[in-house]
């Protein structure tokens, strides 16, 4: 009886080990699949601007050869493709810096309200027929933050709001102050996000069904990078969305007054 007992225990133990191995194997396979999908999406995204870019360069070359004037419109389009390409490459670099714990922050006292205004002004050229509806807050709002990186977060939210909402839509941008916390919200009347996928939006490479199945380009890195930046400022980023109706993204940051005493002079890299 004792012998049988030991045997059964042994079998149970062996089965548990096998299940564990199978589980690890499935997880590894899933990681490889995610990476392979990402590589094919990334190569496609990186290639897309190249064709129009080389067409435009060829046009300019021809005009030069014929001694004609250069067309500023063609130059502008070529620059636009280059900007797009640079943005994609920067996102790839930032994501790998985050993975390696090497995305450096250089915080200083910053007027967050002016930063939002400045970022909005910088996007005038990109907004097409969309309208930005921004009401500056009643009082100045200062945070202790990395201006360059915070601007990256704000423009990522604005670019997404433009990208995922119909042409001509109004994007509502609000900034408020509650109990030493600055809250920025960006609301769009766009495609929204399926309920069961709202939690995963900030994961690396993640793209929601309704974005990836339609032809919206993207790498699924912007929100991942934004979350890292916001959380390392002691803040929080989240979304509320109704599929088919629109989305509101929120960024909450501690104000300068609330964080100053606790902060070291220079934030170490993570
Ligand atoms: P990308 O836009 O390049 O795919 P992001 O990390 O910026 O990457 O966003 C991740 C995903 O979140 C998007 O693919 C899309 O599914 C969803 N998303 C982000 N912003 C919006 C928005 N304003 N409206 C609807 N879906 C959005």
Task: Tell me if 202 CB under 6 Å of ligand 1.
Answer: no
Q: How far apart are the CA of 34 and the centre of ligand 1, in A?
A: 17
Task: Tell me if 187 CB under 6 Å of ligand 1.
Answer: no
pTM, 2 dp: 0.86
Task: Tell me if 95 CB under 6 Å of ligand 1.
Answer: no
Q: 223 — phi, psi (to 5°)?
A: -75, -30
Q: How far apart are the CA of 160 and the centre of ligand 1, in A?
A: 6
Task: Tell me if 160 CB under 6 Å of ligand 1.
Answer: yes
Cα separations in angstroms, 176 against 130, 139, 219, 253: 23, 9, 31, 11
> Is 70 exceeded by the pLDDT of residue 264?
no
**Arithmetic mean of pLDDT, 254-260:** 83
pLDDT of residue 124: 92
- Burial of residue 233, with CB atoms counted within 10 A of its CB: 0-12 exposed, 13-18 middle, 19 or more buried: buried
Nearest to 133 by CA among 61, 193, 212, 186: 186
- Burial of residue 59, with CB atoms counted within 10 A of its CB: 0-12 exposed, 13-18 middle, 19 or more buried: middle
> Which residue's CA is minimally distant from atom 8 of ligand 1?
220
pLDDT digits (tens, 9 = 90+) for 83-118: 999 999 999 999 999 999 999 999 999 999 999 999
> Is 70 exceeded by the pLDDT of residue 266?
no
């Amino acid at each position: 009886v004792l012998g049988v007992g030991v045997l059964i225990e042994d079998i149970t133990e062996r089965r548990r080990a096998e299940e564990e191995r199978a589980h690890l194997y499935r997880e590894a396979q899933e990681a490889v699949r995610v990476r392979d999908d990402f590589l094919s999406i990334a190569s496609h995204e990186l290639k897309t601007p190249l064709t129009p870019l080389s067409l435009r360069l060829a046009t300019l070359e021809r005009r030069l050869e014929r001694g004609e004037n250069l067309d500023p419109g063609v130059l502008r389009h070529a620059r636009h493709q280059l900007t797009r390409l640079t943005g994609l490459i920067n996102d790839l670099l930032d994501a790998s810096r985050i993975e390696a714990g090497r995305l450096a922050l250089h915080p200083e006292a910053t007027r967050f309200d002016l930063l939002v205004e400045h970022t909005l002004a910088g996007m005038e050229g990109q907004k097409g027929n969309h309208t930005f509806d921004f009401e500056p807050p009643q009082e100045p709002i200062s945070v202790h933050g990395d201006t360059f990186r915070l601007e990256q977060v704000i423009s990522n939210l604005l670019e997404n709001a433009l990208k995922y909402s119909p042409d001509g839509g109004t994007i509502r941008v609000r900034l408020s102050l509650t109990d030493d916390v600055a809250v920025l919200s960006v609301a769009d009347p766009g495609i929204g996000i399926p309920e069961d996928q709202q939690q995963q939006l900030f994961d690396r490479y993640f793209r929601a069904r309704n974005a990836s199945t339609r032809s919206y380009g993207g790498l699924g890195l912007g929100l991942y990078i934004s979350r890292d930046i916001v959380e390392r400022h002691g803040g929080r980023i989240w979304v509320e969305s109704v599929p088919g109706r629109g989305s509101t993204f929120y960024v909450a940051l501690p104000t300068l007054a609330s964080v100053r005493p606790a902060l070291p002079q220079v934030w170490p890299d993570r």
